[in-house]
Amino acid sequence: MTFLKKRIYGLIGLPLKHSFSAAMHNAAFKALKINAEYRLFEIRPQDVDDFLAQLDKNNINGLNVTIPYKEKVLKFVKLDQESSFLRQVQAVNTIAKKDGAWTGFNTDIAGFSRHLKEQFDPVGKKAAILGAGGAAKAVAYVLASLKVDSISVFDVDHQKSSKITDMIKEIFPGFTIYPVDKIEGLEVKDKDLLVNATPVGLKEEDPCLFKSGQLHSNLFVYDLVYNPAQTKLLALAERAGARVSNGLGMLLYQGMLSFRIWTGQEAPRQVMEETLNSGLSVKKYNSKKEKPC
């Protein structure tokens, strides 16, 4: 009798306290009776090269990658040749063995695109993006592909904002996207869509990104942060009468795609969604007295 070794998957990043990925994927493995486990690998920067070099030895079959290792992981993988985005942008959030080689994929793009389109029609709309890191690349790419009218981008690191706008202009010649050097430059009052692609909002002590009065009721505000379920930004936006979404649906859809890449099986959506919803923290800024900002 042969015993099959448990397959290990996981998320590599630092810190990972906020992550729901392990609960979501372990529930999916259980539902489909797959002998596998998803672990959180909180790896220190000085250990990350060794960790990645020993994936096979440690029986690791696939990983999601998050901050701060998205760039780092590029050295260890070949890019999925089926994805033109990956060839152009080189942002990876999922790795798996394909034809014997560690290969990089991006499931954030399809995850964000699917979740946004369920709630908002972006065609011809004016958009603003906060942040210019790995997730912002996916967001900007999706919005340009979905034919928004224009995008303004703000990151505390102005070079990153310029890099992302140059990248999108190269991929979509003639498209209007511009970096701004302060948050007010996003001109949110004239926008239809605001996307937070920074980690601001993950921690309770994080500042408010906007002041009361800067957001308005014609805005759709999408925060990639999903834990807490209601960030200060979303609370402020709701108070301004805006429609809002956190990033939980994006997490679900990108997770379902990673699952399929790793296992070759359709992900069990219902069980994954129920697991995510059951882990959500309760809304915090729901009373008139308790102001978010």
Q: Which is nearer to ligand NAP, 122 or 247 (CB)?
A: 247
Catalytic residue among 5, 6, 70, 232: 70
Question: Applying CB under 6 A, which of residues 43, 86, 127, 132 lies at the interface with ligand NAP?
Answer: 132
Q: Which is nearer to ligand NAP, 55 or 92 (CB)?
A: 92
Question: Applying CB under 6 A, which of residues 130, 140, 167, 188 lies at the interface with ligand NAP?
Answer: 130
Judged by CB under 6 A, the chain residues 221 through 260 that form the site for ligand NAP are 224-226, 247, 250-251, 254
Distance CA 93, CA 80 (A): 12
DSSP strands (E only) in 86-219:
94-98, 101-105, 126-130, 150-154, 176-179, 193-196
Q: Is 189 a catalytic residue?
A: no
Judged by CB under 6 A, the chain residues 147 through 206 that form the site for ligand NAP are 154-157, 160, 197-200, 202
DSSP strands (E only) in the chain:
7-13, 36-42, 60-65, 78-79, 94-98, 101-105, 126-130, 150-154, 176-179, 193-196, 220-223, 243-245
Q: In this structure, are residues 276 and 250 in contact, taking their beta carbons and an 8 Å threshold?
A: no
Is the backbone peptide bond immediately before 15 cis, with ω within 30 degrees of 0?
yes
User: Residue 36 carries which side chain, given as an amino acid letter?
Assistant: A
Judged by CB under 6 A, the chain residues 70 through 89 that form the site for ligand NAP are 70
Q: Which is nearer to ligand NAP, 3 or 198 (CB)?
A: 198
Show which residues are catalytic. Answer: 70
| Contacting residues toward ligand NAP, per CB under 6 A | 66-67, 70, 108, 111, 130-136, 154-157, 160, 197-200, 202, 224-226, 247, 250-251, 254
